Amino acid sequence: MNPVRALRRLTTTSLLVLCMATGTLGHTQVLDLGGYTDTSGAVAIQHRGNTVDPYFTLQALLLAKENGLDTRGLDVPWARWLLARQKPDATFDRFCRNGPVWQPCKTADADDALLALWLRFIDTLPAAVRQEPAFVQSAAAASATLLRLVSPPTGIYLVSPVYMHGLFMDNLEVWTYLPAHAATQNKARPSFGASIQSVFWDPERLRYHVSTQPEQKTAASKFYPDAVAQIFPHTVNFPFIPGGAKAHYRRWITEHRAEWLRQVETDFAWGLIATVSLHQGDLVSVRCWQQKALPARHGPHWTVTDEVVQQILQARSIAPQPPEKNCQ
């Protein structure tokens, strides 16, 4: 399972403005992940699931924080759970439940994005926690490992020491971790964001390449990763989108909304895209997503990220009723 990656970093000021605009200031909704968590601190991908993918949990908790949900009851138990399972090279595996025990069962999908999310998450922990020697050492090791993934010729990050190619969405996630910018810079190279734009943007086809792998340019297009890659810059507030974010979003939603809303039938709900619609002020598409996806809540096509998205919408009193028409 390899769903969309996506994370938007909001400043404290912008988050305050968002909370004021949505009426959440002073009465922050607590994120409830009952059924996804256990007493050890683990957070599973799916409701009552037997798999933990650290990428998904970090994505979900960061998304919740950035959109004003209270995650304090989950943050430290999860951070300690994952810290205890960090490998000597600072990377992480995925885990499967064996009775009451979580055991490594698969390598991570990509080291670059996961390391960046872990570093971002550590930065959000209470000062007394993130200053503990174990977390300081973890952050230093993760930073060093991430640094080794920079490709000097291009200034972008590679997936891992094994997979020596760059992924567009991974690099956008690394871009959200500000210290990663400095690691790519020298006087002869443009900014990290400009490097991402230069490497992945196809000016002839007017779309982003998913990967630096040559075969990606001729591969058959699929919703994931191809269509998702085009909307992904909006999830991190990437400033280099050609033609501007609003026009780019309108083109994407016009072309792909029906396909997006159908994904829950056979794939996953892709709620992260609903947060893009929310921030673009497109509440019709948000409610269409709820209308199509909520019947699958907590089922096999629903992830912890989708659950966070729905609770973000609930905190803003956005509901699918009355049913939206023309959700195609």
- The pLDDT score that the predictor gives to residue 218 is 79
Nearest-angstrom CA–CA distance, 295 and 96: 27
CA angle 42, 48, 49 (to 5 degrees): 70
Q: Is the pLDDT confidence value at 150 over 90?
A: yes
Instruction: Tell me which residue of 164, 173, 163, 158 sits closest to 117, measured CA to CA.
Output: 173
Between the CA of residue 83 and those of 79, 247, 308, what are the distances in Å?
A: 6, 42, 23
CATH topology of domain 12-315: Glycosyltransferase (1.50.10)
Q: What is the pLDDT of residues 76-127, one digit of tens each?
A: 999 999 999 999 999 999 999 998 899 999 999 999 999 999 999 999 999 9
- The pLDDT score that the predictor gives to residue 187 is 66
Nearest-angstrom CA–CA distance, 133 and 55: 23
Residue whose token pair is 């269409």: 288
Between the CA of residue 34 and those of 54, 146, 213, 301, what are the distances in Å?
A: 17, 33, 40, 17
For the chain, give every domain's residue range: 12-315
Q: How many CA atoms lie within 13 A of 308 on its CB side?
A: 31
Greater model confidence, 4 or 146 = 146
What is the pLDDT of the chain when averaged over all its residues? Answer: 90
Residue whose token pair is 């002869």: 188
- The pLDDT score that the predictor gives to residue 9 is 32
Confidence of residue 15 (pLDDT cuts 50, 70, 90): very low
Q: b or e along 135-145 (b: 16 or more beta carbons within 10 Å of the residue's beta carbon)?
A: beebbebbbeb
- The pLDDT score that the predictor gives to residue 4 is 39
Q: Is the pLDDT confidence value at 24 over 80?
A: no
**β-bridge pairing 201-202 and 207-208:** antiparallel
- The pLDDT score that the predictor gives to residue 210 is 97
Q: What is the pLDDT of residues 217-260, one digit of tens each?
A: 777 889 999 999 999 999 999 999 999 999 999 999 999 999 99
Q: Is the pLDDT confidence value at 182 over 90?
A: no
Q: What is the pLDDT of residues 277-323, one digit of tens each?
A: 999 999 999 999 999 999 999 999 999 999 999 999 999 999 987 77
